[in-house]
Amino acid sequence: MNALEQLKQMTVVVADTGDLDAIRQYQPQDCTTNPSLILKAASLSGYAHLLEEARAMGDVEAAIDFLTVRIGTELTKLVPGYVSTEVDARLSFDADAMVTKARHLIDLYSQQGVGKDRILIKLATTWEGVQAARVLEAEGIHCNLTLVFNLAQAIAAAQAGAYLLSPFVGRITDWYKKAEGKDSYPVDEDPGVKSVREIYHHFKSHGYETIVMGASFRSAEQVKALAGCDRLTVSPQLLGELAADEGKLERVLSPESATQTEPTLTQADFRWALASDPMATEKLAEGIRGFHADTEKLRALLRG
């Protein structure tokens, strides 16, 4: 078996794309999208008719939701599991607004014949995003807490009952490369890899049920270094590299018995943990700004 086939035996493989052809080729279990990927997908020929339908609506905000949900609906036809759909990044510090938008997206999916059991609502892992997830999970709307850069974010998400969270491997590594003036790290010393391993081991030893899904990979070596993680969401390029790799893939992460408990993380604990972590603070804000910028580009495309 190639490395991708071996990986699928120990980890749920998720495609980090809206490209229909790539999903057909690599046959992932789930698929994730975000504003950047929706913007990229909108330029693909397979979605041209949806882009025109969205433009014809006249209302840009309604058109964005329409296009996002229609692309997500097409993806549900190709994967047997979940499709992750992200709320507007501008809402990342307004829990009530995130809950309202999430309910609206789920309603739009329902109108397309897609049940909430097929969708993960993606929320930035701000304190407000965590509180929104708590409300939505209680309503049976599962959430993917994204832009996770440190353990405190992960713990808060798990204690809120989030179904899944996405630590961003590559973006963590990018920050440390720049901060430390390095071109690369041995994979076992890679800060992004180490962050996901820390979260995974912490969750398993403390009995958290929230799924850990490594994301934002820069290399196939980073992916392989997390083999055995609950889920890994991987770009088509790296899926292709794994499919072409005929070497043996060793399992790195395995479930552990829960042996510890810990107190509930307060808002003050959460905010102090971020304030104490320059990398997490900078990358969380940068990620939110980046998703907002791509949503603005999508707005411009729809106005056009």
CA dihedral 269, 270, 275, 276 (to 10 degrees): 60
Does residue 182 have an active-site annotation?
no
Alpha carbons within 13 A on the beta-carbon side of 228? 14
Catalytic residue, from 101, 116, 122, 204: name it: 122
Which mean pLDDT values do the consecutive 10-residue runs of the chain (304 residues) have? 98 96 96 94 91 94 96 97 98 98 98 98 98 98 98 98 98 98 98 98 97 98 98 98 98 94 97 98 98 96 88
Non-local CB neighbours of 76 within 8 Å, separated by 6+ positions: 83, 114, 118, 119
SS3 label, residue 233: strand
Sign, CA torsion 124/213/138/262: negative
Token pair for 25: 């080729």
Range of the domain at 21: 3-303
- For residue 304, the model assigns a pLDDT of 77
* 243 vs 236: CA distance, rounded Å: 10
Q: Model-level pTM?
A: 0.97
CATH number of 222's domain: 3.20.20.70
Torsion region of 207: left, alpha or beta (phi above 0 gives left; psi -120 to 50 gives alpha): left
* 186 vs 165: CA distance, rounded Å: 25
Alpha carbons within 13 A on the beta-carbon side of 214? 33
Q: Each residue of 87-113: b (16+ CB within 10 Å) or e?
A: bbbebbebbebbbebbbebbebbeeee
Tell me whether residue 198 is exposed, middle or buried, using C-beta atoms within 10 angstroms of its C-beta: 0 to 12, 13 to 18, 19 or more.
middle
* 194 vs 187: CA distance, rounded Å: 9
Taking CA atoms, 242 is separated from 19, 225, 247, 292, in Å, by 18, 12, 9, 31
- For residue 231, the model assigns a pLDDT of 98
SS3 label, residue 278: helix
Q: Do β-strands 231-234 and 30-32 pair in parallel, antiparallel, or remain unpaired?
A: unpaired
Q: How many domains does the chain have?
A: 1
